[in-house]
Structure 1
Amino acid sequence: MSLTYITRDGDTLDYIAWKQYGAATTAIVNALLAANFGLADLGPVLSAGVSVVLPTIDADTKKATTQEVTLWT
């Protein structure tokens, strides 16, 4: 069962990553984007009520434990 975060007006992925995982690394933000298809289309500042799936992150390395998507190479 996946955990979800329901956004408040003005939330960003960096803020959600920091609040939920204690860090806002590129790997964590990429994992959030990979777990939430279409989330990037909503823009950098999210409105209230958006459901964001929280992927499993390795607590020691702060890296996603699933495959990550790279938007730019």
Structure 2
Amino acid sequence: MASPEKKSFPLRIDPALWAEVERLAATELRSANAQAELLLREALARRGVKLAPPQGRASAARKDPESGS
């Protein structure tokens, strides 16, 4: 069940693309949903969009593999 502070919506996505998101998520010990959110945040950051850090215990517990922290 989605947390109350998160927006849920249906997503139409190429099955091969979603399979890669799931594979990457498993490698990085995330849910496919969390992985998709991370990838969207990274894509927006590359375009110069600044967002507040994600809220919640899972985001605080996990370290960003790219930053090495």
TM-score (norm 2): 0.27
Q: Which has the higher contact order (CA 8 A, sep 6+)?
A: 1
Higher alpha-carbon Rg: 2
| Structure with more strand by fraction | 1
